[in-house]
Amino acid sequence: VALYKSVPTRLLSRAWGRLNQVELPTWLRKPVYSLYIWTFGVNMKEAAVEDLHHYRNLSEFFRRKLKPQARPVCCLHSVISPSDGKILNFGQVKNCEVEQVKGVTYSLESFLGPRICTEELHFSQAPPGNSFQQQLVTKEGNELYHCVIYLAPGDYHCFHSPTDWRVSHRRHFPGSLMSVNPGVARWIKELFCHNERVVLTGDWKHGFFSLTAVGATNVGSIRIYFDQDLHTNSPRYSKGSYNDFSFISNNNKEGISMRKGEHLGEFNLGSTIVLIFEAPKDFKFHLKAGQKIHFGEALGSL
């Protein structure tokens, strides 16, 4: 593990990112992309543009858009999958710990960082002695839930709003860019806390809601469409540091309102989405660990 952590994954990811931006000759595009499609099982029939010659470089191919009808958004359930991927874990958050894969946990506070100003988020005015988990819950009788979705290299790489909610704050943690493949996640404790990530926090009709995009090897770019100030995988950063940005201002008291299914951001290559949110005790997930899921399909509801 120590040897793997010493690998300069950020430098390699930046190099890979530059390579992905190199325009391929037209004659080379089909064989290169066809090899990728065969290796990772990409379904090009869902792509808005199926012609492989259209994609000038690997980066454009990774970030390909889908046909509008390819991913219908479920209207019956309150929370949908924000992306394509594989369900690694889900359930109630217990003892301020969240599972990244079965049996391997990480600290909720280390992952999200210290509490954000209560003026921006409607946190409960919990006594200071309460646990971090209890401080996030705003309504009596509610619980904190989590869901982890792993995006493989062959998956659709855009992610969308999982519900109707209001984004108040962005916290960017520079960090490592280790692989988040489930096989790797089993033997590196707190992997998601080591890796670079972008935490979006806000609230939905039941209280606290957050979506975190976790970077990984060769995923040096995490893009949030409404956040032009966000720049990921910079050459220099201080270990353990983070920077905050508020979407609440004198001119915008509500932050960024997102509708269920609305485009939110994108990765280059594959990575992980982590949802942590508050909901009543009768909230139920409609999932099985290890199942494949598509953007727009139901995660859970009341």
Q: pLDDT tens-digit profile of 243-294? A: 999 999 877 778 899 999 999 999 876 689 999 999 999 999 999 989 999 9
Q: Is residue 38 part of a domain?
A: no
Average pLDDT over residues 102-112: 80
Statement: residue 119 has pLDDT above 90? no
Q: Which residues make beta-bridge pairs with 98?
A: 106
Number of other residues whose CB lies within 10 A of the CB of residue 76: 7
Which helix H or strand E contains 149, and what residues bound it? strand 142-150
pLDDT tens for 167-194 read: 999 999 987 777 777 777 776 777 778 8
Q: Give the per-residue pLDDT at 62.
A: 85
How would residue 44 be classed by pLDDT, with cut points 50, 70 and 90?
very high
Q: Is residue 58 part of a domain?
A: no
- 286 annotated active-site: no
* One-letter identity of residue 140: E
pLDDT tens for 213-255 read: 988 776 557 899 999 999 887 777 777 789 999 999 877 778 8
24-41 b/e (C-beta count within 10 Å ≥ 16 → b): beeeebeebbeebbeeee
pLDDT tens for 130-152 read: 788 888 998 989 999 999 999 98
Q: Give the per-residue pLDDT at 32.
A: 93
- 84 annotated active-site: yes
Q: Which residues make beta-bridge pairs with 173?
A: 197
Instruction: Choose the catalytic residue: 59, 78, 179, 271.
Output: 271
How would residue 9 be classed by pLDDT, with cut points 50, 70 and 90?
low
Q: What is the spatial distance between Cα 165 and Cα 208, in angstroms, rounded to a whole number?
A: 9
Q: Is residue 177 part of a domain?
A: yes
272-280/207-214 β-pairing: antiparallel
Q: What is the spatial distance between Cα 301 and Cα 298, in angstroms, rounded to a whole number?
A: 8
Q: What is the spatial distance between Cα 32 and Cα 275, in angstroms, rounded to a whole number?
A: 34
pLDDT tens for 49-63 read: 999 999 999 888 988
Q: What is the spatial distance between Cα 55 and Cα 164, in angstroms, rounded to a whole number?
A: 33
* Strand segments (E) across 13-96: 79-80, 85-92
For residue 231, the enclosing domain spans: 74-113+133-301
Q: Is residue 62 part of a domain?
A: no
Q: What is the spatial distance between Cα 55 and Cα 194, in angstroms, rounded to a whole number?
A: 33
How would residue 117 be classed by pLDDT, with cut points 50, 70 and 90?
low
Q: Give the per-residue pLDDT at 5.
A: 64
Q: Which residues make beta-bridge pairs with 256?
A: 167
Q: Is residue 259 part of a domain?
A: yes
Identify the residue with better confidence: 128 or 154. Answer: 154
Q: Give the per-residue pLDDT at 97.
A: 82
Q: Is residue 98 part of a domain?
A: yes
| Phi, psi angles (nearest 5°) of residue 86 | -120, 130
Q: How many domains does the chain have?
A: 1
Number of other residues whose CB lies within 10 A of the CB of residue 255: 20
Q: What is the spatial distance between Cα 61 and Cα 55, in angstroms, rounded to a whole number?
A: 6
Integer angstrom CA distances of residue 140 from 65, 125, 174, 204: 41, 12, 34, 15
Statement: residue 10 has pLDDT above 70? no
Which helix H or strand E contains 173, and what residues bound it? strand 165-173
Instruction: Choose the catalytic residue: 146, 157, 160, 194.
Output: 160
Q: Is residue 36 part of a domain?
A: no
- 131 annotated active-site: no
SS3 159: strand
Q: Is residue 34 part of a domain?
A: no
Q: Which residues make beta-bridge pairs with 244?
A: 171
Instruction: Choose the catalytic residue: 84, 155, 203, 227.
Output: 84
State both tokens at 176: 């490592």
Average pLDDT over residues 27-48: 94
Q: Give the per-residue pLDDT at 18.
A: 75
State both tokens at 41: 């099982």
Q: Distance from first CA to last CA of the chain, Å, rounded?
A: 41
Q: What is the spatial distance between Cα 212 and Cα 66, in angstroms, rounded to a whole number?
A: 23
Number of other residues whose CB lies within 10 A of the CB of residue 97: 14
Average pLDDT over residues 80-92: 94
